[in-house]
């Protein structure tokens, strides 16, 4: 079967049909449909995991991992870490260190120490710092300003977008294509 004409109908409701004891069935107009369930009809399915953040034996917050199972906007199977402390709320820079290390924008010159680098030219952007010293604007602004880190993050997580209708399809005078 080949599409011969597309007619714009505006916004219309779409329904996810389910029929008990039937995987698929034929509607009165001859259209074959299939039960989809929640996973197939959802635009986004994110599973949130968490672990406690402790200082000694005291719980001081949580480290969350957002596991992207399905999304129209973020690459599936992505993992996004977010830290939340009782004192400060969501840590603004949380999750960036892991992504930056994956791309070579932050390296560990020795155990427990971190350094910002430009992977394009191996330029050192900071000295050796402890993890807590990397969670601030001066550390990250150097990485964002002197490297292509923003483009790396977009490539790592963003889904490419394209037009649903090719440019080769023209509209008729009545607005149909």
Q: Where are the strands (E) in 1-143, listed by range?
A: 24-26, 32-34, 45-55, 58-70, 79-85, 89-90, 106-107, 115-118, 123-124
User: Which residues does 73 contact at the CB level (< 8 Å), separation at least 6?
Assistant: 44, 158, 159
Query: How much is the pLDDT for 164?
Result: 54
Highest-confidence segment of 1-10, 23-32, 134-143: 134-143
Q: Is the pLDDT reported for residue 83 higher than 80?
A: yes
- Nearest-angstrom CA–CA distance, 138 and 127: 12
Residue 42: band (very low, low, confident or very high) from pLDDT cuts 50, 70, 90: confident
Percent of the chain with pLDDT over 70: 75
Query: How much is the pLDDT for 22?
Result: 64
Q: Which residue has the tokens 């330029």?
A: 123
Using alpha carbons, list the distances in angstroms from residue 126 to 109, 113, 118, 131, 139: 12, 11, 10, 13, 7
pLDDT digits (tens, 9 = 90+) for 146-177: 999 999 999 888 876 665 555 555 555 555 55
115 with 128: CB under 8 angstroms?
A: yes
Q: Is the pLDDT reported for residue 35 higher than 90?
A: no
Q: Is the pLDDT reported for residue 19 higher than 70?
A: no
Mean pLDDT of the residues in the chain: 83
pLDDT digits (tens, 9 = 90+) for 96-109: 999 999 999 999 99
- Nearest-angstrom CA–CA distance, 20 and 31: 18
pLDDT digits (tens, 9 = 90+) for 57-72: 999 999 999 999 888 8
């Amino acid at each position: 079967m080949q599409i011969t004409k597309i007619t714009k109908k505006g916004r219309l409701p779409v329904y996810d049909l389910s029929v008990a004891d039937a995987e698929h069935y034929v509607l009165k107009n001859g259209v074959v449909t299939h039960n989809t369930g929640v996973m197939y009809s959802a635009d986004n399915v994110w599973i949130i995991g968490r672990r406690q953040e402790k200082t000694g034996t005291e719980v001081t917050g949580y480290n969350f991992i957002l596991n992207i199972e399905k999304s129209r906007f973020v690459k599936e199977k992505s993992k996004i870490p977010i830290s939340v402390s009782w004192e400060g709320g969501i840590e603004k820079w949380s999750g960036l260190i892991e992504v930056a290390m994956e791309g070579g924008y932050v390296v560990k010159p020795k155990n427990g120490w971190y350094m910002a680098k430009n992977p394009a030219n191996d330029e050192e952007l900071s000295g050796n710092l402890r993890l807590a010293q990397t969670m601030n604007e001066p550390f990250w602004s150097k990485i964002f300003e002197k490297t292509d880190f923003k483009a790396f993050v977009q490539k790592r997580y963003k889904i490419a977008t394209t037009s649903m209708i090719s440019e080769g399809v023209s509209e008729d005078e009545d607005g149909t294509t």
